[in-house]
Amino acid sequence: RKEVEQDPGPFNVPEGATVAFNCTYSNSASQSFFWYRQDCRKEPKLLMSVYSSGNEDGRFTAQLNRASQYISLLIRDSKLSDSATYLCVVTYGQNFVFGPGTRLSVLP
């Protein structure tokens, strides 16, 4: 079983749509949780941290359920510029473990 699993994707959605990504992790000792965004042939960049109480940053909302070892990312009112691969990341000790990513294409 992989340590971090994500929806396989790709997700193709029209502009303005709401899209949700799911992620599960296997190690209950995970400490911190993040969503990263990676554009084609670029380095990953932090989108947002994920807190147990849930957190929102503009059109993006992240949720964490420690009991179920589940993380989600909701994107509202999708923009063309949201097209990218979204990576779920958990930390174990000093290590960052990345999920395989879910590709999103927002279509005009």
Do 55 and 33 touch, CB atoms closer than 8 A?
no
Residue 73: CB minimum distance to other proteins, A: 15
Cα–Cα distance, 44 to 38 (Å, whole number): 4
Contact residues toward other proteins (CB under 8 A) are: 31-32, 34, 41-46, 49, 87, 89, 91-101
CB of 64 to other proteins, least distance (A): 14
Query: Which of 45/79 has CB closer to other proteins?
Result: 45
Compute CA distances 10 → 7, 66, 82, 100, whole Å: 8, 26, 13, 12
Comparing CB distances to other proteins, the nearer of 16 and 54 is 54
